[in-house]
Amino acid sequence: MALQNSGAISLDDIHVEAGGTSGTTASINDSDIRSMIDKSDGATASFQEYYGASSSTYVAGTGGQTTTSGNYKYHYFNSSGQFQITEIGTGGPSNTIDFIVIAGGGGGGGQSGGGGGAGGYRTGTFSASTGNKTVTVGGGGVGVDYQNASPVGEPAQGSSSSITSGHTNTGGGKGSDALAGHDTAGSGGSGGGGGYITPGPGYGAPGISGQGYKGGRGTDDGKSSAGGGGGKGGSGGNAPESNAGNGGSGSSTGNANYNGATRAGGGGGGTHFGFPFAPSSSAGSGGPGGGGSSSKSGPASSGSANTGGGGGGGSASPGQSNPNKEGGAGGSGIVMVRYQYQG
């Protein structure tokens, strides 16, 4: 609690604010009293200079991209780095660090492939202590590559993100598809969507409790559509009839989310359209929060960078060129922190 801004201030008032006991001996030249107004030893000081002075300190830190709002400072890490805490809160101010950790999204399957699951999204707090805190920001998993890989590359799970030990989130699960070795969706922070599998259905994979939801299920009735990847805010959509499932919604929760943006949406599922398959089937849309969408006219889109969104599943039609069958990559993750930096 700071000293008053006007009126009479006694040496005892200053002594108590500096942490001393009222009525005990104190000098205006004591180091704890001088430090309140940054006076050197023996320098002249007046009592008026102590108006509004306080012995309290606030958390201070460096690293990442920073912004302030009100009494809080925010740090955003779009890539791995160091969060250095140079001061801790004392004398009343909060010593709490709020954080959001989002892992990389999973890659989408190809040709009626399931959408990738969103990277694990979790909020929390820890008490500030001086020193470097290692921040790891996970990359998104690759989607199925029909164009440049032989044999066709398998989609991959996203990579984990973390800040300090004990605060690690798991990357989003991969979407599945009908190719050999690709027929099982991957679990993760949020689960990957199930592709069109014969015999089916292609089941979506589970998410991790507290980090995200499960992926949706693909069809098994000859309609050849896939489920959406799970998101932080909800499960991936099951493929209804011939249409593909949409990606699960993301989330905007957490005190460290300065701009309230929604992140960690699941990737939309792919479809197989045109005779003899369902001619009017629709491709799945990415979940709100950076999830990639499938497309009937080109490769699926990737999850948005620094959202942890899952990649869209690839769609295809008989005779369609390979690039149009490709699944999208998952979006990279992000780590955000917030603390009180002034009163």
Peptide bond before residue 279 is cis, with ω within 30 degrees of 0: no
Q: Any idea what the Cα angle at residue 149 is, between residues 145 and 154, rounded to 5°?
A: 50
- At 200-247, the pLDDT tens digits run 788 999 999 999 999 999 987 666 789 999 999 999 999 987 789 999
Residue 316 β-bridge partners: 272
Binned at pLDDT 50, 70 and 90, residue 47 comes out as confident
Peptide bond before residue 199 is cis, with ω within 30 degrees of 0: yes
Number of H-type helices and E-type strands within the chain: 2, 10
pLDDT at 192 (0 to 100):
98
- At 264-311, the pLDDT tens digits run 999 999 988 765 555 567 899 999 999 999 998 888 999 999 999 999
Please give the span between the terminal C-alpha atoms of the chain, in angstroms, as a whole number: 10
CB 107, CB 328: distance < 8 Å = yes
pLDDT at 214 (0 to 100):
98
Binned at pLDDT 50, 70 and 90, residue 112 comes out as confident
pLDDT at 328 (0 to 100):
95
Determine what percent of the chain is predicted with pLDDT higher than 70.
91
Mean pLDDT (the chain) is 88
pLDDT at 9 (0 to 100):
87
pLDDT at 52 (0 to 100):
77
pLDDT at 148 (0 to 100):
60
List the chain domain ranges.
Answer: 11-50, 57-343
Structure tokens at 176: 């599945």
Mean pLDDT of 29-34: 82
- At 165-196, the pLDDT tens digits run 789 999 999 999 877 678 899 999 999 999 98
Distance, in Å, from the CA atom of 292 to the CA atom of 311, rounded to the nearest integer, reads 5
Collapsed DSSP state (helix, strand, coil) of residue 33: helix
Judge whether residue 22 has pLDDT over 70.
Answer: yes
Contacts of 191 (CB under 8 A, 6+ apart): 117, 173, 185, 204, 205, 206, 207, 212, 213, 214, 215, 229, 230, 236
Q: Of 284, 182, 177, 160, whose CA–CA distance to 230 is shortest?
A: 284
Distance, in Å, from the CA atom of 50 to the CA atom of 27, rounded to the nearest integer, reads 14
* Whole-prediction pTM: 0.85
- At 117-136, the pLDDT tens digits run 999 999 999 999 999 999 99
Q: Any idea what the Cα angle at residue 172 is, between residues 309 and 169, rounded to 5°?
A: 105
Determine what percent of the chain is predicted with pLDDT higher than 90.
58
pLDDT at 66 (0 to 100):
97
pLDDT at 20 (0 to 100):
82
Q: What separation in angstroms does the CA of 338 have from each of 58, 123, 201, 215, 312?
A: 12, 11, 44, 31, 32
Q: Comparing 81-95, 99-113, 137-151, which segment has the lowest mean pLDDT?
A: 137-151
Mean pLDDT of 62-76: 96
Distance, in Å, from the CA atom of 235 to the CA atom of 55, rounded to the nearest integer, reads 50
Distance, in Å, from the CA atom of 307 to the CA atom of 250, rounded to the nearest integer, reads 9
Judge whether residue 340 has pLDDT over 90.
Answer: yes
Answer with the residue of higher pLDDT: 227 or 343. 227
Contacts of 21 (CB under 8 A, 6+ apart): 15
